[in-house]
Amino acid sequence: MNARSILTAAFGAALCTIAAAQDVLAVKAGKILTVSGPTIENGVVLMHNGRITKVAKAADVEIPWDAKVVDASDKTVMPTWVLAHTQGGIRGANENLQNVPYVSIADAVDPAATWFEDCLRNGVGTVHAIPGNQTLLGGSGMILRPYGRTVEDMAVVTSSGVKLSLQAQGGGRLQQIRRLRKAIEDVQEYLADFDRRKKAFEEEKKAGAIPADKEWTEEHDRLKKPVIDLLAKKTRGWLYVPGAAEVDEALRLSQQFDLVMVFGPGIHKAIPEIAKLKAAVVIDDALEFYETDDETQQERKICPAKQLADAGVPFALSLATNGPGAYPWWQMATCVRNGIDRRAAIEALTLVPARILGIEKDFGSLTEGKLGNLQILTGDPLAATTWVDSVILEGQVVYERSKDPRLQYLFSKEPAKAAAPATPGEGK
């Protein structure tokens, strides 16, 4: 069984329907963007026990009498966004120690972080939280829903794989590569020694030097277990590749492990090599920048996403933690502005990341049988004037803009009351 199959099985075991979900929920929509299929005008999304049972034109859907109905007949309905790689919502993106594959991001996730609130405001329904890029062999990530009081409530997949990084840490690119190779070789040597000792035990037992009823009880060192699983391709690796200079090493590692490549903005000079992976990748939140030609001194705009699209490489978009790149509409609009097909831009935050994460069976599009994760928008998803009106996760309305307490506070027309002046002599 490969790492993808194991991840899918883990998702099936870990998934639980959000508490108190509506049994039957019907969403009437002016327009439904299914992502995987055609756009439906004047349609209905019908959900039962958190899963989609029907997506069709209103005339073709019989809404049960006991259904809760959400009327979005003047709005656009589409799947919630899926983030394939982020450090949002966690306390500190990296460990102080570089070689810590045995830690879990679960210890750093903060359910009360306002970043998760922003996710719902922006229509994000699934988040892959994983240690940051300033690491060597980092800990394991988690796939979360941005809703819940505890990490356990939020968990969709409790362990999504181990983080690796080729980003130079206080010694240059080559030293980082040597460190990573050394860390992996140390585990390989440990495994070889473990297997030798186990084989010697079995031979001594066969020769009668050890009682026949005695069994080998030693287990693998739990601190090395994540890398052991990585070597055996029982878990996935998430490798950050900052630039073109590290791509060759990344390709070598991809032959040894089941890796998802997460590329920084400097990979535009190695697009042909990346295309050899024949796999979807994740790209950094920096979607466009300018580079000066050494000979002509002329500036030119670089968009790695456009270059990947032209090379036929599917990619998942990332969101920044602040600034305009923190908004899904901005990232997708940036792609379209640089010549990327609109459908491909939308898929880069829905179907592609869901496939990379191994959860496309339940996320990424509005399809019968999938989980009822959808957002209700006031207009076109790529327009700056469009707002997320509501978010539904697994058949339950978890966010309504009209009831957002922070927005109510920010946009309140009632001026703040000035403090009353102190009475002379008061407090003496």
pTM score, two decimals?
A: 0.88
Kind of pairing, strands 68-79 and 24-32?
parallel
Cβ-contact 46, 374 below 8 angstroms: no
Every domain of the chain and the residues it spans = 3-80+364-410
The DSSP line for 288-355 is -EEEE-TTT--EEEE-HHHHHHHTT--EE----SSSGGGSHHHHHHHHHHTT--HHHHHHTTTHHHHH
- For residue range 212-262, what is the model confidence (pLDDT) as tens digits? 889 999 999 999 999 999 999 999 999 999 999 999 999 999 999 999 999
Cβ-contact 319, 285 below 8 angstroms: yes
- Specify the pLDDT at position 414: 64
Per 3-state DSSP, the chain is made up of helix, strand and coil in percentages (nearest 5) of: 30, 25, 40
Residues of the chain with pLDDT under 50: 5-21, 426-428
- Specify the pLDDT at position 2: 55
- Specify the pLDDT at position 6: 45
- Specify the pLDDT at position 297: 77
- Specify the pLDDT at position 27: 97
Residues in contact with 126: Cβ distance below 8 Å, sequence separation at least 6, in sequence order:
80, 81, 82, 83, 143, 144, 145, 156, 353, 354, 357, 359, 363, 373
Architecture of the 3-80+364-410 domain: Roll (2.30)
- Specify the pLDDT at position 195: 94
- For residue range 394-409, what is the model confidence (pLDDT) as tens digits? 999 999 999 999 888 8
- Determine the Cα–Cα distance for residues 121 and 107; give it in Å rounded to an integer: 25
Nearest to 75 by CA among 44, 115, 106: 44
The DSSP line for 110-138 is -TT-HHHHHHHHTTEEEEEE---SS-SEE
